Structure 1
Amino acid sequence: MQIVFADLQDSIVALSGTNSPATIRRSSGVLGQVTQTLNIPFTVSVAPRPGGPGVIAELPDASAFVRDGPCCWDDQPWCAAIAAHARRTLVICGVTSEIVVLHTALDALAAGYDVIVPVDASGGLSERTENAALRQIEKAGGTVTSVAGLVTGMVRDFTTPTGRNVITALHHLAG
């Protein structure tokens, strides 16, 4: 498994009409903490913005891949980074669900990857349009879930040191 943080930039997260920016930040931050606790590879893909990427502070530190279009798969260096990890499951989150999440998920599915979209770490333009995008992803074979559902499927024992770190991270979802 690897995590794809897409367009989680201050100026773009603020545009979400479905999840509040605070929810997206918290949920993405929890995913970021879990990547570090479980040594899960991740990438950060961003849209070009005046003044630089402006990635939200809740994400783990990483160099961002700046792409020209609405889909991460259109960026060859990003594709090479994904392929280098040789992990066939991508967890894709970002803003907006109808653009970067949708197109990246559909292209990943077409390329033979399994795709999971945690809805609380993503945001859409409107409920109607986001729901349409999520239905498209599911119809193509992707899974739509939550950060809590995803993470508790990976770590089932919260009494171990790793499990305690994960459950502590999950408590941040409550705000």
Structure 2
Amino acid sequence: MNSIQKAEFLTPNNAVLAMIDHQTGLMSCVGDEHPTVLKNNILGLCNTVKAVGMPSVITASLPEGPNGPVMPEIVDVLKGQVIEREGQINAWHSDAFKNAIKATGRKKIIMAGIVTDVCLLFPALSAVAEGYDVYAVIDASGTWNKTVQEVTIHRLTQAGVKVTTWASVLAEIMHDWRSPYGEVLGQVLTHHTTPYGYVMNSHFSK
């Protein structure tokens, strides 16, 4: 991917969402964000993608083991089949996962994963090495503690991954409040960001 393509903003037509190992067992390991806040961020990201019809890929590592199944809310929103990996820690080493990404024909990947320093970091590095433009959504990912999060962010940025947040992804995709997706994405913001919910409530109470 050339520098011009990497400078392009996200649109509903040039990216794919990868949700990696948001499994109920792994969620219990998260210590860098409050569980309720993390769940809200994850669903905000998923509903953003759903609202604009962007393709998504969901994967899980040994879901019948201690990692547990993928959060059912993710599957309910994205309506996708979960790719159950055979044991690969790095999702990019799963042919089924990698081929599902390739099949979309899109070179920008919006990624989130539990835990950040493994399930998100490893496939992000691998995808960048193969020419993909990766956006790591840190607040829809989680790990053991803030120190681990900060170290992982450094490694991601050193490799050329774009570190971002779910609301920033939404705004980048929306581009303009007058876009065809302005209203529906505004509703996603209202439902999943308490501060902006107050803004919208104030507006509509006039």
TM-score, normalised by the number of residues in structure 2: 0.79
Quick one: which of 55, 66, 70 aligns to 1:55?
A: 70
CA distance in 2, matches of 1:148, 1:161: 18
Deviation readout 1:88-122 (Å, 9 max, x if unpaired): 01111011001110001100100110011111100
Partner residue in 1 for 2:186: 167
Q: CA deviation at 1:173?
A: 2.7
Amino acid at match of 1:32: C
CA distance in 2, matches of 1:123, 1:101: 9
- How many residues are aligned here? 175
Q: CA deviation at 1:41?
A: 0.8
Q: CA deviation at 1:36?
A: 1.6
The 5-angstrom pairing of residues 62-81 of structure 1 reads: 62-67=80-85, 68-81=87-100
Partner SS state of residue 73, structure 2: coil
Amino acid at match of 1:116: Y
Q: Percent identity?
A: 22
Instruction: Give the structure with higher Rg (CA).
Output: 2
Partner residue in 1 for 2:114: 95
Partner residue in 2 for 1:32: 46
Deviates most, 154-163 or 8-17: 154-163
Amino acid at match of 2:126: D
- 2:140 aligned with 1:121, yes or no? yes
- Say what the alpha-carbon RMSD is for the aligned residues: 1.7
Deviation readout 1:58-91 (Å, 9 max, x if unpaired): 3122111111122111110111111111100111
Asked if the contact 2:83/2:96 (under 8 Å) is kept, the reply is yes
Amino acid at match of 1:168: Q
CA distance in 2, matches of 1:172, 1:102: 29
Asked if the contact 1:26/1:58 (under 8 Å) is kept, the reply is no
Q: CA deviation at 1:157?
A: 2.7
Asked if the contact 2:25/2:68 (under 8 Å) is kept, the reply is no
Asked if the contact 2:63/2:70 (under 8 Å) is kept, the reply is no
Q: CA deviation at 1:152?
A: 0.2
Amino acid at match of 2:71: I
Instruction: Show structure 2 runs of 5+ residues with no match.
Output: 1-14, 195-206
CA distance in 1, matches of 2:139, 2:73: 14
Asked if the contact 1:97/1:133 (under 8 Å) is kept, the reply is yes
Instruction: Show structure 1 runs of 5+ residues with no match.
Output: none
Deviates most, 84-93 or 150-159: 150-159
Deviates most, 48-57 or 107-116: 48-57
Amino acid at match of 2:29: L
